[in-house]
Amino acid sequence: MPSIASTLHQATLRLGGASPQPEARLDAEILLCLIMDCPRSYLHTWPERELDAQHAQCFMTLIERRATGEPLAYLTGRWEFWSMVLEVTPDTLIPRPDTELLVELALQRIPMDGPSWHIADLGTGSGAIALAIASERPACHVIATDRATAALTVAQRNATNLNIHNIEFREGHWLAPLQGETFHLIASNPPYISSLDLRLSTSDIRFEPLSALASGIDGLDDIRIIAETARQHLVTGGWLLLEHGYDQGDATLQILRNLGYQEICGHRDFAGMDRVVSGRAPA
Ligand code: GLN
């Protein structure tokens, strides 16, 4: 039977090609830990130990799936966001570190104490944004919507596993399940990739739900819909925070300006890219 060291070496070559990247090695180690149900330190402490046949077989199956581009998050079924380990499935977008900016901007606006704010997260997916805000502001009431029943089930499970109880999950498209309700802050990471973008069919994102990625020819269809309908669901001065693509900052600012939002501002992510636009609802 092959040793841990040689198995990892072969898997890294398979994932990384001729000159393996450190990422390929890391992916291989993470997947082997998953199969062997052990911490990474075990692999480094016992490199000469042999794998049993069943583990070796399961591991190679996962390596082949990863080699075709299937994201690591879907192979492990979990992903970290805002220091929380979330369950993710192919029904949910994989939370990106960029989106932590949206959470930070929301938290800067939500008071630590005082009257409890009503907050909405539209298109919650795995629940990442709603869970991060709800955990940091336990006195607030957060409503998370998604039209995908399967995604909402995952988000609900994440809330239960993380013991976060100040979130209500509602099924429906954007603000549709929030008829007659108003909020102090509405946040969303909607789909914003152009439906013509070839990455949708060629890169690893092809494994993620298209409905969470693509939004019309210019990628802005959902941002337009949300910005327009959110006005009726915000208290005067309430905040709208929208994530967008790195090259959509100006267009998103303009959409909010045309709709009469105030104190409109663009924000850059940790990579220095335009990523979020914020604005306040007019009276
Ligand atoms: N940020 C993601 C990407 O570019 C897209 C997520 C989204 O459309 N909201 O891969």
pLDDT band for position 129 (50/70/90)? very high
Expressed in angstroms and rounded, the spacing between residue 53 Cα and the centre of ligand 1 is 39
Residue 1: predicted pLDDT: 83
CB of 223 closer than 6 angstroms to any ligand 1 atom: no
Give the pLDDT confidence of 226-273 residue by residue, as tens digits.
999 999 999 999 999 999 999 999 999 999 999 999 999 999 999 999
pLDDT band for position 283 (50/70/90)? confident
| Contact by Cβ (8 Å): 156, 78 | no
H or E element: which one contains 226? helix 221-230
**Model's pTM, two decimal places?**
0.95
The overall average pLDDT reported for the chain is 96
- Torsion-angle region of residue 53: left (phi > 0), alpha (psi -120 to 50) or beta? alpha
Give the pLDDT confidence of 135-180 residue by residue, as tens digits.
999 999 999 999 999 999 999 999 999 999 999 999 999 999 999 9
CB of 242 closer than 6 angstroms to any ligand 1 atom: no
- Provide the sign of the torsion angle of the four alpha carbons 249, 254, 256, 261, taken in this order: positive
Expressed in angstroms and rounded, the spacing between residue 193 Cα and the centre of ligand 1 is 7
Which ligand 1 atom sits closest to the C-alpha of 191?
8
Asked if residue 55 has pLDDT above 70, the reply is yes
Tokens found for residue 275: 């990523």
CB of 193 closer than 6 angstroms to any ligand 1 atom: yes
CB of 276 closer than 6 angstroms to any ligand 1 atom: no
Beta bridge partners of 79: 86
